[in-house]
Amino acid sequence: MISAEASATTSVRVALGDRAYDILIGRGLIAEAGRAIAERLPRVRAAIVTDETVGGLHLAALTASLDAAGIESVPIVVAPGEGSKNFATLETVVRAILAARLERGDIVVAFGGGVVGDLTGFAAAITRRGMRFVQIPTSLLAQVDSSVGGKTGINTAEGKNLVGSFHQPDLVIADTGILDTLSPREFRAGYAEVAKYGLIDDPAFFAWLEQNWQGILSGGPEREHAVATSCRAKAKVVAADEHETGERALLNLGHTFGHALESATGYSQRLVHGEGVAIGMVLAHEFSARMNLCSPDDGIRVEAHLKAVGLPTRLSDVPGGLPDAQDLMKRIAQDKKVSRGTLTFILTHGVGKAFIAKDVPPAAVEAFLNDKLAG
Amino acid sequence: MISAEASATTSVRVALGDRAYDILIGRGLIAEAGRAIAERLPRVRAAIVTDETVGGLHLAALTASLDAAGIESVPIVVAPGEGSKNFATLETVVRAILAARLERGDIVVAFGGGVVGDLTGFAAAITRRGMRFVQIPTSLLAQVDSSVGGKTGINTAEGKNLVGSFHQPDLVIADTGILDTLSPREFRAGYAEVAKYGLIDDPAFFAWLEQNWQGILSGGPEREHAVATSCRAKAKVVAADEHETGERALLNLGHTFGHALESATGYSQRLVHGEGVAIGMVLAHEFSARMNLCSPDDGIRVEAHLKAVGLPTRLSDVPGGLPDAQDLMKRIAQDKKVSRGTLTFILTHGVGKAFIAKDVPPAAVEAFLNDKLAG
């Protein structure tokens, strides 16, 4: 790699043996994408899967970058939004890859947010029993979370992400400049996952976020630092527990509550994923305090920061109301982090001290939710 | 395992590290299935995927066996035939598994022939990003080939088995008695894959088959020996090359020609898979002889044996006619064993001496097919 790129680009390695890969992070990396791919994966053809929104804004730039590196590509454009994570769109994408006559050594590029990444990664996993796969995430959420780690999947009426594969990318390219085109709401939703890494096991990072969050939103150099720190944290966990048999579950901090809220609001624009996670993380701290695992001050501190950033933090922040606690518990029970009828939650001993709690009594969670809904 | 079972059962181990598993082979094993599963996979619930034909004949016996071992099960019944290997049926099976609230440690049982095994294995691979999976193959083809090795998948209009996963079973139970209910045609089709193991690298086994094939068809002890020898051969190849990056391709002997013939006959009852493989294996020997790789006598010997068993061996044996050589070549080119525009074929230096030939000239294959079609 020539020095001009190296000086602007942070590289994070995901250490997965012979499936190890790099995450490149920097402003303006779309223009370098073709060269970065060609250096690592010579002589490939590419299918670029994107949605109408991202494609309309940025597909021409990506295609030009690939062309310049001699990489022939075909675009596959899906409708934007969570609704595309279904069997019908999966079939459409898979068949378009086959129709383009891509071979097993060729690449499928996911160019979009979490929906495009999850759908495309799954399509790459099952086409010809596994094609190479490059993630070019265009939302903050995808850059710091879903593009790294190999979880791919779609939704069914039975639940979210219950169908999918583990399929690691060969390369992740996170252009932090592309985040300038996100709506403030979508940017903030991704920020919830950034804060999560501090809350799991890095209290110094959380304290840094409390001081520097405005630079992340405004596009200062703090943004690259936050994305790189998040990717490093995720890469470490993924390398230690690729298939989530153990500590990878820590990444679900705030997600069990969050998924129940997303489910209760029909995965609609009433509450996007990161917003559910923000409320879920506050609830996880509050429930932990109620179980005497941490101080109530921890929940107050977490809520204060997320609120300052502009994220929802309480059940009453969800527009349009929520069902009762019993209904939310049913949604939690169908969540995939259920094992043999008992509940597994990520709880915490305080900021940066999250842990996996097995055998959490469902009755205690329901009583807690009942109180929160009332108050 | 108690001695009564051990005396009747042959066990073949597939050595895949922490994903190693046993293939149990013997007459009457359905009655032992519940116990065999419970010994290896304690405290699971099961979904049994089967088709209307196999289910009608044998589902009650399997369910009773599981019940007796304390394994609760739900049946999921699909239509028989290759037509069920599609996205729509995949979605139906996956959602039925989710609706039954099976968890990641529970098992999905494939109870049927190759279609049910491929479809069910794929459903198990992608439900909750990978559920445990037990194969109980009920056709000879599935017992000696498709149930072992972890290849799963479905078809699309673009081709056969172009969508799928590698997902190893946790256990394979081959009840050779259940093969008594197969039609003679279906039994013979499976026999083509048995003969294949001799032709790849075991000339002594091929010679044994030439002497003992009648006992295999009639259900004598020769049948268990043939199934066990075939499974051992396949297990050895799979353990050495799980994801088909090398020598596993040898298992495709006869399959490139065979798939083109299946495709040309619309995957219909005009030509079932094993019949295509039988003709394909004869063609592979004849083409090898034409390339001066082996003697014409090898092709004559192979054809004589397969014909004695009652299998089709020539292009003119395909009822309803075939398209021209150019059309067949197009079907071969879309086959997944194409790499960067050149053809990879399994060719042979003689009976039991197959090898992977890369860069086979497409023009030579087309000329050969042209001559064979002309008679």
Euclidean distance between CA atoms A225 and A222, whole angstroms: 5
Q: Do A165 and B125 touch (CB under 8 A)?
A: yes
Q: Which residues in chain B have their CB less than 8 angstroms from residue A157's CB?
A: 95
Residue type, A363: A
Euclidean distance between CA atoms A188 and B263, whole angstroms: 52
Mutate to test the interface with B, among A119, A126, A342 (most CBs of B within 10 A): A126
Kindly report, residue by residue over A177-215, the tens digit of the pLDDT.
999 999 999 999 999 999 999 999 999 999 999 999 999
CA B167 and chain centroid, separation = 15
Phi, psi for B62 (deg, rounded to 5) = -70, -45
Q: Please tell me the predicted confidence (pLDDT) of residue B202.
A: 98
Kindly report, residue by residue over B281-327, the tens digit of the pLDDT.
999 999 999 999 999 999 999 999 999 999 999 999 999 999 999 99
Compare all CA atoms of chain A with the CA of B338 and give the residue at the minimum distance. Answer: A103
A101 and B CB contact within 8 Å: yes
Nearest-10 Cα torsion for B4, B9, B10, B14: -110
Known catalytic membership, residue B151? yes
Q: Please tell me the predicted confidence (pLDDT) of residue A2.
A: 36
A356 and B CB contact within 8 Å: no
Secondary structure of residue A133 in the 3-state scheme: strand
A129–chain B nearest CA distance, Å: 5
Kindly report, residue by residue over B140-152, the tens digit of the pLDDT.
999 999 999 999 9
Q: Which helix (H) or strand (E) holds A277?
A: helix A273-290
Tokens of A8: 């602007």
Q: Please tell me the predicted confidence (pLDDT) of residue A231.
A: 97
Mutate to test the interface with A, among B44, B128, B161, B163 (most CBs of A within 10 A): B163
- What b/e string do you get for A102-126 counting C-beta neighbours within 10 Å, with b at 16 or more? beeebbbbbbbbbbbbbbbbbbbbb
Compare all CA atoms of chain A with the CA of B128 and give the residue at the minimum distance. Answer: A162
Q: Please tell me the predicted confidence (pLDDT) of residue B339.
A: 53
Measure the CA angle with vertex B90, ends B87 and B94; round to 5°.
140
A-B C-beta contacts closer than 8 Å: 83
DSSP string, A201-248: H-HHHHHHHHHHHHHHHHTSHHHHHHHHHHHHHHHHHHHH-TTSSSGG
Quick check: A299 pLDDT over 80? yes
| B78 marked as binding residue | no
Which contacts qualify for B329-333: CB closer than 8 Å, 24 or more apart? B329/B260, B329/B362, B329/B365, B329/B366, B329/B369, B331/B259, B331/B260, B331/B263, B331/B264, B332/B256, B332/B257, B332/B259, B332/B260, B332/B365, B333/B362
A338 and B CB contact within 8 Å: yes
Q: What is the DSSP letter of B220?
A: S
Q: Please tell me the predicted confidence (pLDDT) of residue A208.
A: 98
| A115 marked as binding residue | yes
Q: Do A164 and B126 touch (CB under 8 A)?
A: yes
Instruction: List the single residue in A103, A130, A166 with the smallest CB-CB distance to B129.
Output: A166
Burial category of B353 from C-beta neighbours within 10 Å (exposed 0-12, middle 13-18, buried 19 and up): middle
Average pLDDT over residues A58-62: 98
Q: Do B153 and A129 touch (CB under 8 A)?
A: yes
Q: Do B98 and A243 touch (CB under 8 A)?
A: no
Q: Provide CB contacts within 8 A for B302, sequence distance 6+.
A: B195, B199, B281, B282, B285, B351
- Average pLDDT over chain B, rounded to an integer: 94
What stretches of chain B show up as alpha helix (H) in DSSP? 3-8, 33-40, 52-68, 87-99, 114-126, 140-141, 184-201, 203-218, 221-240, 255-264, 273-290, 296-309, 325-334, 362-374
| B153 marked as binding residue | no
Lowest mean pLDDT, pick from A83-87, A176-180, B17-21, B48-52: B17-21
Q: Please tell me the predicted confidence (pLDDT) of residue B303.
A: 98
Residue A339: half-sphere exposure toward Cβ, Cα within 13 Å: 12
B149 and A CB contact within 8 Å: no
Q: Provide CB contacts within 8 A for B17, sequence distance 6+.
A: none
The answer to whether the Cα torsion of A164, A168, A169, A172 is positive or negative is: positive
| B222 marked as binding residue | no
Phi, psi for A24 (deg, rounded to 5) = -100, 130
Could you count the other beta carbons within 10 Å of the beta carbon of residue B79? 11
pLDDT band at A6 (very low <50, low <70, confident <90, very high): very low
Q: Are strands A151-156 and A338-339 parallel, antiparallel or unpaired?
A: unpaired
B304–chain A nearest CA distance, Å: 35
Q: Do A103 and B153 touch (CB under 8 A)?
A: no
Known catalytic membership, residue B232? no
Euclidean distance between CA atoms B25 and B341, whole angstroms: 41
Known catalytic membership, residue B292? no
Instruction: List the single residue in B101, B156, B339 with the smallest CB-CB distance to A98.
Output: B156
Residues across chain B: 375
B87–chain A nearest CA distance, Å: 7
Report CA-CA distances (Å) from B170 to B132, B199, B314: 6, 29, 39
Task: Considering the candidates B129, B158, B292, B340, report the single residue annotated as catalytic.
Answer: B129
Q: Please tell me the predicted confidence (pLDDT) of residue A243.
A: 86
Secondary structure of residue A158 in the 3-state scheme: coil
In 3D, which of A68, A1, A2, A3 has the Cα closest to residue A30?
A68
Euclidean distance between CA atoms B114 and B141, whole angstroms: 7
Instruction: List the single residue in A159, A163, A340 with the smallest CB-CB distance to B103.
Output: A340
Kindly report, residue by residue over B257-273, the tens digit of the pLDDT.
999 999 999 888 999 99
Average pLDDT over residues A299-305: 98
Q: Please tell me the predicted confidence (pLDDT) of residue B145.
A: 94
Burial category of A266 from C-beta neighbours within 10 Å (exposed 0-12, middle 13-18, buried 19 and up): exposed
pLDDT band at B134 (very low <50, low <70, confident <90, very high): very high
B52–chain A nearest CA distance, Å: 25
DSSP string, A317-360: GSTT----HHHHHHHHHHSTTEETTEEEEEEESSTT-EEEEEEE
Euclidean distance between CA atoms A159 and A259, whole angstroms: 9
Nearest-10 Cα torsion for B165, B169, B175, B181: -20
Euclidean distance between CA atoms B274 and A6, whole angstroms: 56
Q: Do A165 and B164 touch (CB under 8 A)?
A: no
Mutate to test the interface with B, among A163, A245, A334, A358 (most CBs of B within 10 A): A163
pLDDT band at A375 (very low <50, low <70, confident <90, very high): confident
Residue B351 · residue B357 · CB < 8 Å: no
Q: Please tell me the predicted confidence (pLDDT) of residue A5.
A: 41
Quick check: B335 pLDDT over 70? no
Compare all CA atoms of chain A with the CA of B45 and give the residue at the minimum distance. Answer: A340
Q: Which residues in chain A have their CB less than 8 angstroms from residue B122's CB?
A: 126
Q: What is the DSSP letter of B234?
A: H
In 3D, which of A271, A278, A287 has the Cα closest to residue A307?
A278
Q: Please tell me the predicted confidence (pLDDT) of residue B8.
A: 76
Active site residues of A: 129, 151, 193, 234, 244, 248, 252, 255, 259, 273
Q: Please tell me the predicted confidence (pLDDT) of residue A130.
A: 96
In 3D, which of A375, A260, A236 has the Cα closest to residue A327?
A260
In 3D, which of B190, B180, B34, B185 has the Cα closest to residue B113?
B190
pLDDT band at B341 (very low <50, low <70, confident <90, very high): low
Average pLDDT over residues A113-137: 97
Per DSSP (E only), the strands in chain A are 10-14, 21-26, 46-51, 73-78, 107-112, 132-137, 151-156, 159-166, 171-175, 338-339, 342-348, 354-360
pLDDT band at B338 (very low <50, low <70, confident <90, very high): low
Measure the CA angle with vertex B158, ends B156 and B163; round to 5°.
50
Mutate to test the interface with A, among B101, B126, B248, B334 (most CBs of A within 10 A): B126
Quick check: B333 pLDDT over 90? no
Compare all CA atoms of chain B with the CA of A334 and give the residue at the minimum distance. Answer: B101
Give the residue carrying structure tokens 């699971």: B44
Q: Do A104 and B156 touch (CB under 8 A)?
A: no
pLDDT band at A104 (very low <50, low <70, confident <90, very high): confident
Domains of chain B and any CATH numbers = 3-179 (3.40.50.1970), 184-374 (1.20.1090.10)
Residue type, A273: H
| B118 marked as binding residue | yes
Report CA-CA distances (Å) from A252 to A193, A237, B126, B308: 10, 12, 20, 62
Q: Do A129 and B338 touch (CB under 8 A)?
A: no
Kindly report, residue by residue over B148-182, the tens digit of the pLDDT.
999 999 999 998 899 999 999 999 999 999 999 99
Euclidean distance between CA atoms B98 and A158, whole angstroms: 7
In 3D, which of B22, B30, B40 has the Cα closest to residue B65?
B30
Q: Please tell me the predicted confidence (pLDDT) of residue B343.
A: 87
Residues across chain A: 375
Report the percentage of chain A scoring pLDDT > 90: 87
Residue A346 · residue A252 · CB < 8 Å: yes
Report CA-CA distances (Å) from A178 to A57, A66, A193, B183, B289: 10, 17, 18, 62, 60
In 3D, which of A282, A306, A286 has the Cα closest to residue A294?
A286
First to last CA, chain A: 56
Instruction: List the single residue in B87, B165, B334 with the smallest CB-CB distance to A129.
Output: B165
Q: Provide CB contacts within 8 A for A49, sequence distance 6+.
A: A76, A77, A78, A93, A108, A109, A110, A111, A112, A116, A119, A120, A123
A276 and B CB contact within 8 Å: no
Average pLDDT over residues A299-317: 98
pLDDT band at A3 (very low <50, low <70, confident <90, very high): very low
Q: Do A126 and B164 touch (CB under 8 A)?
A: yes
Q: Which residues in chain B have their CB less than 8 angstroms from residue A98's CB?
A: 156, 158-159, 162-163
Average pLDDT over residues A256-281: 94
